[in-house]
């Protein structure tokens, strides 16, 4: 499972059992994210939660990082049996928007921030899976 955490929305993506393909799952409010993840992980097999690590071009943490650190702490406390990994998410929002354009999404669809967050989480997870497969 991958998380694209934001202060307004949290994009969530999951992978298949063979861990080959990432797919968008949903977008939830940050206050509901831990509850959703906990309930989902009790119904479905989740081994690892990949949480996006937003960085600026100079490699310094972005503004939202302090919120993500707090979220990860709460997540570890609430769901200690799941492995949590941080993964560089630089440019995923831009990549998500480009993927929508390339896929023929309308301007109205491209303004849907929830969809962009889901696609961003999907990109984070897909890149993480590809990195694991290279090892």
Domains of the chain by residue range: 2-134
For the chain, the average pLDDT equals 89
Q: Pick from 39-53, 59-73, 118-132 the range whose average pLDDT is largest.
A: 39-53
Confidence of residue 114 (pLDDT cuts 50, 70, 90): confident
Please give the structure tokens belonging to residue 66: 């302090």
Q: What is the mean pLDDT of residues 115-135?
A: 88
Number of Cα atoms under 13 Å in the Cβ half of residue 40:
19
Q: Are 54 and 64 in contact (CB under 8 A)?
A: yes
pLDDT of 90 above 90: no
CA-to-CA distance for 107 and 65, rounded, in angstroms?
29
CA-to-CA distance for 69 and 18, rounded, in angstroms?
29
pLDDT of 5 above 70: yes
CA-to-CA distance for 56 and 61, rounded, in angstroms?
6
pLDDT of 105 above 80: no
Q: Are 37 and 47 in contact (CB under 8 A)?
A: no
Three-class HEC string of the chain: CEEEECCCCEEEEEECCCCCCEEEEEEECHHHHHHHHHHHHHHCCCCEEEEEECECCCCCECCCHHHHHHHHHHHHHHCCCCEEEEEECCCHHHHHHHHHHHCCCCHHHHCCHHHHHHHHHHHHHHHHHHHHHHC
pLDDT of 52 above 70: yes
Domain formed by 2-134, architecture: 2-Layer Sandwich (3.30)
Give me the sheet containing 22-28, strands edge to edge: 22-28, 10-15, 2-5, 48-53, 83-88
pLDDT of 64 above 70: yes
pLDDT of 73 above 80: yes
């Amino acid at each position: 499972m991958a998380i694209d955490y934001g202060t307004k929305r949290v994009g969530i993506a999951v992978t298949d059992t063979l861990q080959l393909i990432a797919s968008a799952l949903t977008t939830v409010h940050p206050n509901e994210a831990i509850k959703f993840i906990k309930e989902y992980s009790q119904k479905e097999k989740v081994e690892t939660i990949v949480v996006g690590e937003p960085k600026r071009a100079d490699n310094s943490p972005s503004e939202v990082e302090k919120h993500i650190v707090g979220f990860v702490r709460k997540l570890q406390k609430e769901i200690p049996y799941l492995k949590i990994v941080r993964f560089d998410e630089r440019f995923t929002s831009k990549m998500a928007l480009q993927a929508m354009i390339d896929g023929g999404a309308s301007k109205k669809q491209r303004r849907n921030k929830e969809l962009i967050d889901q696609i961003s989480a999907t990109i984070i997870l897909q890149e993480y899976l590809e990195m694991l497969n290279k090892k």
